[in-house]
Structures are given as structure tokens and as C-alpha cells.
Amino acid sequence: MEIPALPRPLRSGYLKVRDRQSYEFALTSAAVALHIRGGVIREAKVAAGGVGTVPWKLPAVERHLIGERPSDRLWADAAEHAAEGARPLAHNGFKAELLKRTVERQLRIVGGTK
């Protein structure tokens, strides 16, 4: 999958959550790119890994961010949409909540707060 570059100034980052430091694979991961101009999020790209066979784009999270001002409340509300449509199995149901927390943490790191 190819994601087009966002205009400058761009803030971006990647967070990988592992069970142990020695493990290479992620339980969950989140990649976030935000274009914030005039204190408002103009464009957002958010993707998750470690929760399916391929990385997922998270369009519901992206839609929740566009046009809003960065804040702790916004990051939490947007992250609630991270697991929309997920169908966890019996032994990996914990990943839905872990994904939300991972996305929220990365949004806070990349977007900061006012």
C-alpha cells in the first residue's frame, strides 16, 4: 500500500508495542502523520499493525481528527474508533483495547496538546 505524502509542516511517528523487549513482532503498532496548520488538523493519516495479517489504515480515526484542534480529549475520542469493524477471536480479544491505547498514545506523541 502506498500513502501519498502530506504537505509540510508534517508531524509523524511510529510506535511499536511488544510483550517483551526481546520480541521483534508487535502486539500492536500505530503510525500517525498529521498536518496541523493554524492550530487545526488539516490532514491525518493513521495506520495500525500487529492486529491483522496486513497493516490497516484507520479511516474512522482520520475522519474524527480532520478539522479539529489538538487536545487530550480529541486524541482519546479519535482512538475509540481504532477498532471499529474488528472481529477479535477468543484468544486475541485483548488486542482491540490495546490498539485503542496504542493509537491514542501515538496521537498524543505526534500531535501534542494545547
Instruction: Provide the pLDDT for residue 54.
Output: 82
> Residue 42's pLDDT is what?
95
What pLDDT does 2 receive?
Answer: 67
pLDDT at 76: 96
Q: Block means of pLDDT (10 residues each) for the chain, length 114 residues?
A: 65 77 77 93 93 87 97 96 83 86 94 76
pLDDT at 3: 63
Rounded distance between C-alpha atoms, residue 27 and residue 43, angstroms: 27
Domains observed in the chain? 10-111 (3.30.390.50)
Say what the pLDDT of residue 23 is.
66
* pLDDT reported for residue 8: 66
Q: What are all long-range contacts of 74-83, with beta carbons under 8 Å and residues at least 24 apart?
A: 74/107, 75/104, 75/107, 75/108, 75/111, 75/113, 76/104, 78/103, 78/104, 78/107, 79/103, 79/104, 79/107, 82/30, 82/46, 82/48, 82/58
Q: What is the pLDDT of residue 67?
A: 97
